[in-house]
Amino acid sequence: MYEHQIQHFLQRHGYICVEPKAALIDMDGTLYDSMPGHADAWVTMMAEQGIAVDRDEFFRFEGRTGASTINILFNRVYGRDATAEEVERLYRRKTELFAAMPPEGPMPGAMDMLSFLRSVGVECVLVTGSGQRTLIDRISRDFPGVFAPGHMITSRDVRHGKPHPEPYFKGMDLIDRRPDECIVIENAPLGVAAGDAAGAFTIGVSTGPIPKSELTDAGAALVFDSMQECAEAMPVVIYGLLTTRRNLN
């Protein structure tokens, strides 16, 4: 199964095969059902500034740094970038609103997926655009034994947010793996684009209002309707990657 999708990926990247040694995994909307809360916090913060925005839009911005999101909205409304002071103040307010919300649970299926990856020796690294300690601190509690200490790239470690491939390149550097030894698991179009641009076999999981087709268009090699579906398929995906070589004729 997935032979066709894997072949397509190998052709597109010019690889002979993918050896799945490591999984680089996004956090918001992938391991936690945190995106609705983030979107609500953004909408509320912008409303306080007198700026009305479509809530679903924040699912498309997902992966961008806070500054980048604020600048897109400022350019639309005011025709200019936000000042450093505005970025700091507005992002702090958004963070405050998000932190005041009830904590969201792990995404159903996420632990099953991670446990399977660990059981077959695939090393896991968290690659998140978030710098919020509230969520990052919870990772080791909610997913015990999955991420080795320091196996984490956050917004503090990168200059460019997704869709730039830097976060995923940094994740690969951290564990000294090549792109053709890595899979990426992402829920957002910009995150999928970052994973694919970094050369990893990128799996898109539609966990919010963004349709699967947008994840495919962004470069996902495979897409699933939910994390549970992704977790159930993962043994077959890993087996497919281990046994598929590029058809050279």
For binding to Mg ion (CB under 5 A), which residues are involved? 26, 28-30, 187-188
Residue placing its CB nearer to Mg ion in the complex, 95 or 187: 187
- Tell me the torsion sign for CA atoms 29, 72, 158, 168: positive
- DSSP string covering 162-190: TTSSHHHHHHHHHTT--GGGEEEEESSHH
- As measured in angstroms, the least distance from the Cβ of 39 to Mg ion is 12
Residue placing its CB nearer to Mg ion in the complex, 6 or 234: 234
Distance in angstroms (rounded) separating the CA atoms of residues 39 and 58? 6
Nearest to Mg ion by Cβ — which residue?
29
- As measured in angstroms, the least distance from the Cβ of 30 to Mg ion is 5
Is the CB of residue 152 less than 8 Å from the CB of residue 181?
A: no
Distance in angstroms (rounded) separating the CA atoms of residues 244 and 142? 34
- As measured in angstroms, the least distance from the Cβ of 37 to Mg ion is 13
Residue placing its CB nearer to Mg ion in the complex, 37 or 240: 37
- As measured in angstroms, the least distance from the Cβ of 190 to Mg ion is 9
- As measured in angstroms, the least distance from the Cβ of 55 to Mg ion is 16
Per 3-state DSSP, what percentage of the chain is helix, strand, and coil (rounded to 5)? Answer: 50, 10, 40
Among 85, 188, 75, which residue's Cα sits nearest to residue 130? Answer: 188
DSSP-assigned beta bridge partners for residue 106: 32
- As measured in angstroms, the least distance from the Cβ of 233 to Mg ion is 19
Residue placing its CB nearer to Mg ion in the complex, 30 or 202: 30
Residue placing its CB nearer to Mg ion in the complex, 15 or 169: 169
Place of tokens 């976060």: 167
Residue placing its CB nearer to Mg ion in the complex, 28 or 33: 28
